[in-house]
Amino acid sequence: MSHRPYLTNASAPLTREVEVMDERGRLSTIAIPSERPLTVYVDKRELVTLMTLGGAPEALTIGYLRNQRLVASIADIESVTVDWSVDAVAVRTRGGIAGIEERTAKKVVTTGCGQGSVFGGLMDDIDRIVLPPDARLRQSVLYRIVDTIRTQQSIYKQAGSVHGCALFSGDGDMLYFVEDVGRHNAVDAIAGRMWLDGVGGDDKVFYTTGRLTSEMVIKGAQMGIPFLLSRSGTTQMGHMVAEKLGMSLLARCTGKHFLALSGRERLVMEPHLADVLRVA
């Protein structure tokens, strides 16, 4: 890439230990996920406060700016500096964000956890997004992805109460895995990493443990990804947007089961695999 912004590498504990009492009055210690505010400042202007696990704050910030359509290119960002002592991240751009007051004045309250609102009209850029028409996903690759997630070591398995998102190659190799208190934070962090690493979405598959709302579908489309998979379900508006874009939306992806709600023509079906018992 021609330009990569200066980034801190701010770390924070992802879990904390707490004492609990069970139904028999027995005391024990469990791990629970951390949750902390991260206030985003862009060119010294306060923009938003995100509630986050804190695992990838720089990538989260970059992905948030990307998916809110406030920054057009990674080259527009000069630096991203996270300071957990004040729970803040300072973004410095190269030329400012034109019309930022007007562009951030209108907010839409969303169903998202960890964010809760987006700037501007959700549907504003949909007609300009074109996903690769020839992208295909084999059923065997879909099963490989689901099984990879099943065996992935995670904060969720240790402590619960978080969402996970992952990006896979078209062959089913996992490229990124991010967990956060909200699925929108996790997808934004992956979007940020894709920008930083110059990774395109044309032949990629995105997986989330959370539901596929309209905002999640739009974010996937802005990342250029033709396949969205969820362990959960979708919403009516998420389904409508996916159909408009020609995106493959697959819900209830667990074990050998899945439901293809849109973009079924992109799937290369291998139905005999659904009868093959999984070997642990």
CATH code of 20's domain:
3.10.20.10
CA dihedral for 150, 151, 157, 161, sign (positive or negative): negative
- Comparing CA positions, the residue from 200, 214, 222 lying closest to residue 262 is 214
The series of mean pLDDT values per 10 residues for the chain, 280 residues long, is 84 86 81 87 92 92 93 95 96 90 62 49 73 95 95 75 89 94 89 96 95 89 95 87 92 91 92 71
Contact 187, 206 (CB under 8 A): yes
Q: Do 148 and 262 belong to one domain?
A: yes
**203 within domain boundaries:** yes
**128 within domain boundaries:** no
DSSP 234: B
Domain end marker among 66, 89, 121: 121
Contact 90, 41 (CB under 8 A): yes
Q: Do 248 and 177 belong to one domain?
A: yes
Which H or E run contains 239?
A: helix 236-245
The pLDDT tens digits of the residues spanning 191-233 come to: 999 999 999 999 999 999 888 888 889 999 999 999 999 998 8
Give residue 49's domain range.
Answer: 6-121
Q: How far is C-alpha 173 from the chain's CA centre?
A: 17
Q: Do 61 and 107 belong to one domain?
A: yes
pLDDT of residue 118: 52
Q: Do 68 and 169 belong to one domain?
A: no
Q: Do 142 and 111 belong to one domain?
A: no
Contact 62, 89 (CB under 8 A): no
Q: Do 271 and 167 belong to one domain?
A: yes
CA dihedral for 90, 91, 95, 99, sign (positive or negative): negative
Q: Do 159 and 261 belong to one domain?
A: yes
pLDDT of residue 5: 95
In total, how many domains does the chain have? Answer: 2
The pLDDT tens digits of the residues spanning 94-120 come to: 999 888 887 776 554 444 554 544 555
pLDDT of residue 114: 47
pLDDT of residue 130: 93
Lateral strand order in the sheet of 257-262: 174-180, 163-168, 205-208, 227-230, 248-254, 257-262
Q: What is the pTM of this model?
A: 0.83
The CATH number of the domain holding residue 227 is 3.40.140.10
**130 within domain boundaries:** no
Q: Do 186 and 151 belong to one domain?
A: yes
pLDDT of residue 123: 62
Q: Do 141 and 117 belong to one domain?
A: no
Q: Do 64 and 114 belong to one domain?
A: yes
**132 within domain boundaries:** no
Q: Give the contacts of 112 (CB within 8 A, at least 6 positions apart).
A: 182, 183, 184, 213, 215
- Comparing CA positions, the residue from 189, 228, 185, 224 lying closest to residue 205 is 228
Distance CA 119, CA 66 (A): 12
